Amino acid sequence: MKITANINHNLGVRPTPGAAVVLANFRFPVINLSEVERTEWADILFDSIITEYDARRLYWYLETQHADYFPTLVEVLNPWLRDEIDHAYGFSLIYASYTGIPLDQIVLEAEIRKPDFSLISPITNDAFKLLIMLAYDEIITTHVYHRSIAKHDKFASQQLSTWIRKTKKDEAAHFFSFVQKAKELFADRINETPSILEEIFDIDFRKETYSGTFALDHNTPDFPISKQEIKNMIIPTIIKKLNE
């Protein structure tokens, strides 16, 4: 049986090097950590794999459930998905080296989970709301990675330091691309942004558990950015950028 790949090569030049380059032959540095610290890092790395991995779940959901508007967004969704897949792969390489768990087992654990998009469907039903939600999620992740740079640098690994800065840069680029696409397609709806963000914020902090949707996974006690910071810092920044 002959299988022909249908690959979209029109994604432009990758703005940052991929995981295969940054983490080539990566070995986690020998470190002295307490058992608590070891567990915390294992949790941080696996959570990073999961949230980045689930971008493909959201992409497939949008492609199958919202064929009416999906083609108008592929220009921003495809580069975003490429980078998120790369991030998931990179964090998987790091986690595998850190824990000794085989890469295929890590991928299997990520893959067999079942997503539930019901809570965010009021957002995904509207292309403008979706773009605002993605911008919201990407800028929060940008801040999360920025705050973790110092922690990664403590391992004294050039690869880890380069990796966390690369992922932060990618997330920031995604934020600006979603904002720009929202302005381009929905200039007449920009005044709705504050009320849409209120709706997104409400859903984000009404969700009791993460449901494999990629977005809106910030309502956990250990999340590094507080609810108040998101409300008072992140949301005003999004509104400002959409009005520039």
Quickly list DSSP for 173-230. HHHHHHHHHHHHH-GGGGGGHHHHHHHHHHHHHH-SS--S-SS----STT-SS-HHHI
Average pLDDT score over the chain: 93
- Give the pLDDT mean for 190-210: 95
What total number of domains does the chain contain?
A: 1
- Give the pLDDT mean for 166-171: 97
For residue 119, pLDDT over 90 is answered with yes
Distance CA 103, CA 141 (A): 24
For residue 56, pLDDT over 70 is answered with yes
Structural domain includes residue 133: yes
- Give the pLDDT mean for 137-164: 96
Structural domain includes residue 212: yes
pLDDT (0 to 100) of residue 8: 53
Structural domain includes residue 28: no
pTM tops 0.85? yes
pLDDT (0 to 100) of residue 38: 92
Distance CA 58, CA 56 (A): 5
Question: What is the pLDDT confidence band of residue 207, given thresholds at 50, 70 and 90?
Answer: confident
* CA of residue 157 relative to chain centroid, distance: 23
Question: What is the pLDDT confidence band of residue 220, given thresholds at 50, 70 and 90?
Answer: confident
pLDDT (0 to 100) of residue 3: 43
Structural domain includes residue 13: no
Structural domain includes residue 7: no
Nearest Cα residue to 144 out of 53, 60, 44: 44
Structural domain includes residue 88: yes
For residue 48, pLDDT over 70 is answered with yes
151 is in which domain, residue-wise? 34-242
pLDDT (0 to 100) of residue 225: 94
Distance CA 28, CA 31 (A): 9
Structural domain includes residue 132: yes
Structural domain includes residue 11: no
Percent pLDDT > 70 in the chain is 95
pLDDT (0 to 100) of residue 120: 95
* Weakest-pLDDT range from 65-69, 75-79, 220-224: 220-224
- Give the pLDDT mean for 127-154: 97
pLDDT (0 to 100) of residue 10: 57
For residue 90, pLDDT over 90 is answered with yes
